[in-house]
Structure 1
């Protein structure tokens, strides 16, 4: 039977296990994919802890497969699917969990993998890179404007500063001093996080700040609001919609379309976006991969490579 890395109840790492599961079947509008690689994201351990995605209702069935994004090869096609064939290389968001030998994807939220894009890199795009892309597009800043990315050292932040540069923007990345070289390697000006960071941001952007993309939340988000007079140019992935609205800001509006997946893939192929995969793990070590992200020690993206 196919293997999958699951959590058996809400809680911590003690709920995780590598198990044998029946191969999933694709329903109408869905694809079954033989997984080649699965991206690892903070949302994975948050869901294990009980987080519900926006719009999610009902009780989760256990065991539940971990993971939100995959790349792989189409193995089976559900009813009413067009534009895909068995054997196609694809990537997208996993409906049935991604840390597994097989995953189900919505055909409408999957995209063909370009030949020049590796399965490993493709598996990093549907969550972090797509979130970064959606946010930069949402701000809709004119070329030459300065975008401040707060939390620029994480997966979304690293992608956001690169996408901003690809769109002709100047990027300022707020991150820890330890991630200075990382932020600057992607063409952004680095500003150290910590007390007084807003003053340092202003000093680094003498021509003014066009927009702020917050990925931290909490008090940092409140401080970030001081950087823009027009609060429509402040977006966040770090607080609730109500908390964002309190300051006149907005949550990042996720498009969740195949068009966005194709766009970020094209940016990788063109050399404008480096997914920055820093380490890979086999499926048998999925727990270690998730710990690297959950412990906050990862620099760049972590990927589980399921098959060659």
Structure 2
């Protein structure tokens, strides 16, 4: 018997209910994971919102990424990184129902956990990391280029900073002043939000920026594209809006088929970077699994100061 959070109806986090559940044994192509940590992401509570449409089958599970230990493996099955035996530490991403003490999931979404990451960090690596990787891919950021990242101190932003550094790109990032040290830690030039932003960008990047990555969706971020890029083909947002669509900015999201395919394909590469210590995940706080609503409240507040994990 395990426990997991479900949404018996559509709505906000308040509809979530912690229930006892049987964990089905893994069939061919499946494994069972005893969860040690579950990542908490805005996508989790957005998944259960009525605004996403009500054509999904209730009750809805919640949670896309976990880290844990293999407890059972289906017949003739290997995990995505190869092999796999009971007791092996693993990480799983794009699964369903990660807010649980145990889950049975497709083996194609399960990889060996990098020893360099503890369970809370590993459980928060891939959703933000694959989003960041896709943003850099879509904008075509290359060695020697300068990229402007809006919201650079957030989870996706911090991953963008590290992956851009791997590409040899230069990053100018917007953030609140109290987060400037976070940007400097990962090699970015920090600049403040607010009036005068464009002047500060031009001062930090006198030769101009080659691409813009928007992780916040503000009018300021969207409008900067119009001013700083000759066209919007090298701009991307993870927060689509009427304003960004009117500006011609490409939107990406895990529910889009092209985004999902790219993100699935880049998981192994990001795990290799993490294993080598070249991609880290700052974790600010952990909560017991039973306190998932408090964890979600912290993330919904918009300034958690790092990633948040649930610990069964």
Output the TM-score relative to the length of structure 1: 0.88
TM-aligned CA deviation for residue 124 of structure 1: 0.8
**Any conservation in 2 of the 1:124–1:301 contact (CA below 8 Å)?**
yes
> 2: distance between equivalents of 1:69 and 1:245?
29
TM-aligned CA deviation for residue 9 of structure 1: 1.8
Partner of 1:111: 111
> 2: distance between equivalents of 1:105 and 1:224?
42
**Any conservation in 2 of the 1:149–1:214 contact (CA below 8 Å)?**
yes
TM-aligned CA deviation for residue 218 of structure 1: 4.6
TM-aligned CA deviation for residue 186 of structure 1: 1.7
Partner of 2:121: 121
**Any conservation in 2 of the 1:67–1:99 contact (CA below 8 Å)?**
yes
1:124-203 equivalences in 2 (<5 Å): 124-203=124-203
Output the TM-score relative to the length of structure 2: 0.87
Partner of 2:248: 248
TM-aligned CA deviation for residue 191 of structure 1: 1.3
Q: Does 1:231 align with 2:228?
A: no
Structure 1 range deviating more: 23-32 or 153-162: 23-32
TM-aligned CA deviation for residue 25 of structure 1: 4.4
Say if 1:278 and 1:74 are closer, same or farther in 2 by CA, change over 3 A.
same
**Any conservation in 2 of the 1:123–1:303 contact (CA below 8 Å)?**
yes
**Any conservation in 1 of the 2:116–2:276 contact (CA below 8 Å)?**
no
> 2: distance between equivalents of 1:187 and 1:4?
39
Q: Does 1:68 align with 2:68?
A: no
For this pair of structures, how many residues does the alignment match? 300
1:252-291 equivalences in 2 (<5 Å): 252=252, 253-254=259-260, 255-257=262-264, 259-291=265-297
Which of 56, 63, 69 is equivalent to 1:59? 56
Say if 1:51 and 1:164 are closer, same or farther in 2 by CA, change over 3 A.
farther
> 2: distance between equivalents of 1:76 and 1:101?
14
TM-aligned CA deviation for residue 280 of structure 1: 1.2
Structure 1 gap segments, 5+ residues each: none
> 2: distance between equivalents of 1:57 and 1:16?
16
Structure 2 gap segments, 5+ residues each: 253-258
> 2: distance between equivalents of 1:268 and 1:41?
19
Say if 1:220 and 1:100 are closer, same or farther in 2 by CA, change over 3 A.
same
> 2: distance between equivalents of 1:210 and 1:130?
21
> 1: distance between equivalents of 2:10 and 2:231?
40
TM-aligned CA deviation for residue 24 of structure 1: 3.7
**Any conservation in 2 of the 1:218–1:239 contact (CA below 8 Å)?**
no
SS of 1:256's equivalent? helix
